[in-house]
Amino acid sequence: MIELIDVYYHYENHIALRGINLKIEEGERVVLLGINGSGKSTLLKILNALIFPQKGSYLYRGKRVEEKTLKERDFRKTFRREVVLLFQNPEVMIFNPTVYDELAFSLRQLGLEEKVIRDKVLYWADKFGLTPYLQRPPFELSTGIKQKLCLACLLVLEPKVLLLDEPTAHLDPRTTGWFVDLLWELSCTTVVSTHNLSLANELGSRLLVLGEDHTLVYDGKIEEFFKDKGNLIRAGLLHRHKHRSTGDWHLHSL
Amino acid sequence: MKDRFLLLLYMLALLLLSSLSSIKYLLLVFSLLLLANAVSLRSSLGRAIRPPVFALFTALFISTPYALWTGHYSYALLLTLRVLNLTLLTLLVLRNTNLYLALGFSKTLSQLLVLTSSHILLYRRVFSEFKDSLRSRSPEGPQRRDMINFSGGIGLYFFDRALRDSEEVAKAMKSRGFDID
């Protein structure tokens, strides 16, 4: 479904991704792990075709995704409907006057009838507990509710691939639990980025790890990765600090 | 010290340029500043002249109607040249001065500078994320109605955020000893 072949990407003064090769099949639940600045967000932006590889290629359902193909109306419409991204900061996804308009935003562009749009909006609002807020300006909501709203805005499109950039970063423990349960209810392919090791197990079954050198240092089962401490060290996911009680140095994961 | 000296020179040059009324001298200063900007950018004159083009449009927008209305064409030219010179001079000084060091003598000015620059950097990144999210959520490409909602939405967001952030940054600076009350 998704294939990256020898992908490189660099910003003005630093490299973000180096020689990334990977394949993701339909229905897979992938967790993307790496320390801050390892290139997780860049990789997700490439998968969502917001930026394009400077070297190498990105194939979606066998078709090369690049600026040119995104200009083809039919492909763009299908791609933007099927592959969606939840941004790390939910506030940047909110710009409509009411919660209802926010949920209806992408559906309206698809040219659906207003009744169909309404039914879908009401269904997802109810599922996410957003019904009481439908006529309120979304920027007034709390961060947790905003995060729920942003996710609902994506799911109304019934996407095939859901990309999530640090989705639990702004959530309290209770909402995080709700979010993890919801993720397993969804039938679409998911790619979730995180630097939270304790949560990685809960978010998927396959693990991709980006190392400090911006290469893919691990691609396999989550359980296997954690069995070998060397993996954690190579990915920069272990840190050393002095134990307060004994004064000894210990290695800890993030 | 170098930065303070440059800032002082800049202020004196501002006064001088504002009081200079000979078109011949203003043209000479313009050529020198253009050259200095090109050297400072290590690029061609073409790249150095790009930033003042916007200033030129703004100046012409004000001075052209005035010149047409009153017939004082030479005065309109004088105004335009002054604006261009001041713009080039400001860009040159900004590129070669560390303003944080230059304004270090005043807590108020330092605080103002930190507030402004932190906002500019942060908002530039957030604005680019907003644009990405609009693209990402638009299967058909944004329509006019979407653009209106988008502009209104982010305008409101930045206004609200500017208020919140300023308060936050001011408190943080106060706790670090930048108390100007």
ipTM of the prediction: 0.83
- What is the number of residues in chain A? 254
Decide if A253 contacts A240 (C-beta within 8 A): no
Q: Residue A129 carries which DSSP code?
A: T
Q: Is A220 on the interface with B (CB under 8 A)?
A: no
Collapsing DSSP to helix, strand or coil, A89 comes out as coil
CA distance B4 to B104: 9
Q: How confident is residue B181, by pLDDT bands cut at 50, 70 and 90?
A: low
Q: Which residue is listed with tokens 């200079």?
A: B20
Kindly tell me if the per-residue pLDDT of A253 is higher than 60. Answer: no
pTM here is 0.76
Does the distance separating the beta carbons of A94 and B132 come in below 8 Å? no
> Tens of pLDDT along B17-57?
888 888 899 999 988 988 888 787 776 566 666 666 767 77
Does the distance separating the beta carbons of B150 and A95 come in below 8 Å? yes
CA distance B76 to B82: 10
Helices (H), chain A: 40-47, 67-70, 73-82, 99-109, 114-127, 143-155, 173-185, 197-203, 222-227, 229-234
Helices (H), chain B: 2-19, 23-41, 45-70, 73-96, 99-102, 107-136, 144-175
Q: In 3D, which of A200, A199, A206, A210 has the Cα closest to residue A236? A: A210
Does the distance separating the beta carbons of A109 and B135 come in below 8 Å? no
Paired tokens of A45: 């932006």
> Tens of pLDDT along A7-38?
999 988 889 999 999 999 999 999 999 888 88
Question: Which of A41, A102, A109 to probe the B interface (max B CBs under 10 A)?
Answer: A109
CA distance A85 to A211: 22
Q: How confident is residue A189, by pLDDT bands cut at 50, 70 and 90?
A: very high
What distances in angstroms separate CA B170 from CA A248, B118, B122, one per listed residue? 40, 11, 16
CA distance B77 to B8: 28
Left if phi > 0, otherwise alpha if psi is -120 to 50, otherwise beta: which for A174? alpha
> Tens of pLDDT along B88-142?
888 888 888 888 888 888 878 887 888 788 778 888 889 999 999 999 998 887 7
